[in-house]
Chain A
Amino acid sequence: MEIKFKFIQPDLIEIQWPNQINDAILEEQLLWKAYLQANYQAIIYEIRMGYHVLSILFSRPVNPIELESIMIQMKKINKQDIEIQVKRWSIPVCYEMEFAKDLTLFASLKNLSIEKVIQLHTASTYRLHFYGFLPGFMYLGGLVEELHLPRKSSPDPLVKAGSIAIGGQQTGIYPTDSPGGWYIIGKTPLRLFDINQTCPVVPKQGDFIQFFAISKPEYLRIEKEVQQGKYNWSHA
């Protein structure tokens, strides 16, 4: 793959992969990120990710010669040398009307039955590329083309935390109450961002996510468990 390096400011470097969303790029990003964090911890302040970008903020200015030597090392990385743990998570979703205010509209705009929408949405495995937009908002890859639909022309002023939505080529979960322009097709009782935990999110970059349909009574039961701190996220 063709990769470009750009100096943005003396302590900020951006690495760009081809303009695509795919697993191969994600895996290389994760590999490089893990390598940099393990070997250059002393001079790296923070690493951010986009779909095809790795942004490296150093804790001090780096010079081009230094960068060159880092890049030469990176290109030599062997996949086998770095272990990246990837987990699979199952997220319960209630697709019943009460929790899915745009599902009927979405299905009719896509010329699909509601059952077909749910079946397609739960059949795929999604890949967590990175968090952005809001604390705990997952950028997921892998929505099937049959469910692509441009976002709504006028956003909703308030989308409830836990809402499962589709916008453009993406599906996602609103981690907190927020305005939003995506179609709301369901809701999960899980907490996607918990400020009271040392690590406020559960799935990590590179993990797989799968949705499964639950009834309203199940939703209420899980919601209670979450509130009591008794719910454990389950692996797919």
Chain B
Amino acid sequence: MLKTTAYIHFLKPGLMTSVQDQGRFGYADFGVPYSGAMDQLSYNQANMFLNNQEDAAVLEMALLGPIMIFEMPTRIVFTGAEADIFVNGQLQPIGKLIQIQAEDQVKIGRFSKGQWLYMGIEGGIQSPEFLESRSWFPSISEYERVQEASSICYLSEEHFSRSHYSHPKLSADWYQEEVIAAYKGPDWELLPEELQEKLTQQKFSNSNISNRMGIQLTELLSNTLPSILTAPVYPGTVQLTPSGKLIVLMRDAQVTGGYPRVLQLTDHSINVIAQKKFGEKIRFSILEF
């Protein structure tokens, strides 16, 4: 099948629009974070629906979405957050394979459920790879976020047979759960018993201090733990700062940190907490193994 290089032109870039994939692995020794889609479950779904390679790059969007024009035909699918997705003015649901024609306009409006929306595209976004990944990260990739009036590249493929697509029903139900499963972090034992109990019984909520590096929780713990010697951290590590703030490290997290690491979230819990909006309640549940 003939493939042609084509571009998506951004009329409006949106607030936090970037290209992401599985992440950049094997470079932590040089201080390079993993990066990658905040919600890997929705990222994987997008590529699965399109029959893409599992590491194909997608567009990640949050809060205020972009307006974009496609130069050539392709197929796209949206996963993750429930948002108002307009294709040429027509509302489209997440999970539906959408046939795009040349000059079609896609506009992302209000987000109703979830924080991160993914747009998978047939064959994946073709932006350049840096250290074996297309995920955008400052000082690694050329851009950190999609810029006003910029373009990104994809491969357009003409389909001669009009195949019929089934439409998997996607919903936001899976990230409505309150329970965030976590392992005890490497510094769990430094916590006095009273704080260990609070951490697992009290409810917490996402604050509005939240980005691709981490999510700060609103509720404070009365903390007496000092900082630690700088030690390894991962996405999903929960740090306790000297002022009692809890920070859940996310995909762009540094590779090391100096605050006690009290919890370590499971992969699934990282996806769930990523999709929680400001003010949504969570409760940590300790996994023993």
Contact = CB atoms under 8 A, between A and B. Distances in A.
Contact of B264 (A12, A19, A52): A12
Interface string A115-151: 0000000000000001111111101000000000000
B127 to A, nearest CB: 14
B172 interface: no
A55 interface: yes
Interface centre among A7, A50, A134, A195 (most CB of B within 10 A): A50
A222 B186 CA distance: 44
Contacts of B96: none
A131 B138 contact: no
B256 A132 contact: yes
A221 interface: no
A96 to B, nearest CB: 26
A3 to B, nearest CB: 14
Interface centre among A8, A55, A135 (most CB of B within 10 A): A135
B30 to A, nearest CB: 5
Contacts of B131: 195, 200
Main secondary structure on A side of the interface with B:
loop
B30 A136 contact: yes
A48 B266 contact: no
Contacts of B28: 46, 48
Interface in B226-245: 228-232, 234
A52 B229 contact: yes
B186 A14 contact: yes
Contacts of B29: 48, 130-131, 205
Given A9-B264, A135-B31, A48 B186 contact: no
Contact of A193 (B139, B184, B229, B230): B139
B289 A130 contact: no
A175 B25 CA distance: 20
B254 interface: yes
B169 to A, nearest CB: 32
A179 to B, nearest CB: 12
A104 interface: no
Contacts of A53: 186, 229, 231-232
B279 interface: no
Main secondary structure on B side of the interface with A:
loop
Contacts of A133: 31, 254, 256
Nearest to A176: B139
Contacts of A200: 27, 30, 32, 131
A19 B264 CA distance: 21
A12 B261 CA distance: 14
A87 to B, nearest CB: 16
Nearest to A55: B232
A10 interface: yes
Interface in A193-212: 193, 195, 199-201, 205
B186 A6 contact: yes
Nearest to B265: A9
Interface string A15-44: 010011100000000000000000000000
Interface in A134-188: 134-137, 139, 175-176
Nearest to B183: A9
B232 to A, nearest CB: 4
Contact of A46 (B26, B130, B256, B266): B26
B195 interface: no
B254 A134 contact: yes
A48 to B, nearest CB: 4
B229 A135 contact: no
Interface centre among A20, A133, A199 (most CB of B within 10 A): A133
A51 interface: yes
A19 B231 CA distance: 11
Contacts of A14: 186, 232
Nearest to B266: A9
Nearest to A161: B139
B16 interface: no
B231 A136 contact: no
30 contacts: A7-B289, A8-B186, A8-B264, A9-B183, A9-B289, A10-B289, A12-B234, A14-B186, A19-B228, A19-B229, A20-B229, A46-B25, A48-B28, A48-B256, A51-B230, A53-B186, A53-B231, A130-B256, A133-B256, A135-B27, A135-B30, A135-B32, A136-B30, A136-B31, A176-B138, A176-B139, A195-B130, A195-B131, A200-B27, A201-B30
